[in-house]
């Protein structure tokens, strides 16, 4: 029998719970070419952390409120004709992140160090936090399943969705709400700077091998869970920072899948030609 420490088991469960809700959301962001929105919400969450301490609120509540406000605001600003989407995202990302850094730096004493906010600390999760993570994951998955067909049309072709009478703005706001909940809990796992990577990298890897949206989502879940296990294992044995190691594991899997796919296609192509 493997002698697995309790905190490692909790860390693995927490990471997998976050992957469970992050994978479908990350896939939707990739289909809509909105990958950097996750990064903007993650950076904005640092301001939510500071506000939570100032107002004596639970950390998750402060992050959730900030992420929802910024996410809904982004959904509205995407229709503006004055700036491109990437310009809006860049302005908000750096401005809100700077505001969060200033707010935390101005506090006399914060419960945790700044590095914990930036890179997460998955190794201090409790059973209560695990329960919350899986409760939110089930809520997000249920919301996506109930609205899947229409949401997929909105993500792939907003113009077609408008023609069919689907309220595009409502679905985009709902997606931002789900994304805000996912980020609020994922920050505990990998921190502000790396949460967007956990949303995007496993799904980008899965996209290489997928021919159907559901294949991409399930593949992202498998790759994300594998990244959590590999990251925790290497972090445990080599004493590396856990959050960055999980993201690095996801990147290594991404590279291996690209290499495998390239080699497999070349071999299959050569067989067909012969």
Instruction: Name the average pLDDT for the chain.
Output: 84
Number of H helices, E strands in the chain: 12, 0
DSSP state of 81: S
| pLDDT at residue number 221 | 94
Alpha-carbon separation of residue 242 from 113, 120, 148, 175 (angstroms): 16, 8, 33, 28
* Residue 99 CB-density burial (10 A; 0-12 exposed, 13-18 middle, 19+ buried): middle
What pLDDT digit, counting tens, does each position of 40-64 carry?
888 888 888 888 888 888 877 888 8
- Give whichever of 147-156, 198-207, 210-219 has the largest mean pLDDT: 198-207
| pLDDT at residue number 80 | 60
What is the Rg, in whole angstroms, of the alpha carbon atoms belonging to the chain?
19
What pLDDT digit, counting tens, does each position of 151-200 carry?
888 888 888 888 888 898 888 888 888 888 888 878 878 888 788 888 89
Dihedral Cα 257, 259, 262, 264, nearest 10 deg:
-70
Residues 73-85, mean pLDDT to the nearest whole number: 67
Q: Are 172 and 224 spatial neighbours (Cβ–Cβ below 8 Å)?
A: no
What pLDDT digit, counting tens, does each position of 92-111 carry?
888 988 998 888 878 766 55
| pLDDT at residue number 232 | 94
* Cα 200 to Cα 203: distance, rounded to the nearest angstrom: 5
| pLDDT at residue number 267 | 60
| pLDDT at residue number 227 | 95
Domains and CATH numbers, the chain: 6-195 (1.10.3470.10)
Q: What is the DSSP string of 89-131?
A: HHHHHHHHHHHHHHHHHHSS--SS-HHHHHH--GGG--HHHHH
> Tokens for 36?
């950097």
> Tokens for 182?
């996912």
* pTM, to two decimals: 0.85
What pLDDT digit, counting tens, does each position of 225-244 carry?
999 999 999 999 999 988 89
């Amino acid at each position: 029998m493997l002698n697995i420490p309790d905190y490692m088991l909790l860390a693995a469960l927490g990471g997998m719970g976050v992957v469970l809700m992050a994978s479908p959301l990350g896939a939707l962001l990739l289909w809509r070419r909105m990958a950097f929105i996750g990064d903007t919400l993650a950076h904005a969450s640092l301001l939510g952390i500071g506000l939570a301490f100032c107002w004596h609120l639970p950390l998750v509540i402060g992050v959730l409120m900030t992420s929802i406000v910024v996410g809904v605001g982004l959904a509205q600003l995407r229709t503006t004709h004055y700036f491109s989407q990437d310009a809006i995202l860049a302005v908000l990302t750096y401005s809100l992140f700077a505001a969060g850094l200033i707010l935390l730096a101005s506090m006399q004493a914060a419960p945790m160090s700044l590095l914990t906010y930036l890179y997460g600390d998955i190794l201090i999760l409790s059973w209560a936090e695990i329960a919350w993570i899986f409760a939110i994951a089930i809520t997000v998955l249920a919301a996506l399943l109930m609205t899947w067909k229409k949401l997929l049309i909105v993500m792939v072709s907003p113009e077609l969705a408008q023609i069919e009478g689907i309220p595009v703005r409502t679905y985009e706001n709902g997606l931002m709400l789900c994304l805000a909940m996912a980020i609020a809990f994922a920050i505990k796992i990998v921190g502000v700077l790396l949460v967007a990577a956990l949303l995007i990298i496993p799904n980008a890897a899965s996209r290489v091998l997928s021919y159907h949206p559901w294949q991409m989502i399930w593949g992202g879940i498998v790759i994300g869970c594998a990244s959590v296990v590999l990251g925790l294992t290497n972090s445990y044995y080599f004493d590396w920072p856990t959050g960055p190691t999980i993201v690095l594991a996801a990147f290594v899997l991404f590279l291996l899948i690209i290499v495998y796919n390239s080699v497999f296609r070349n071999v299959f192509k050569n067989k067909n030609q012969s």
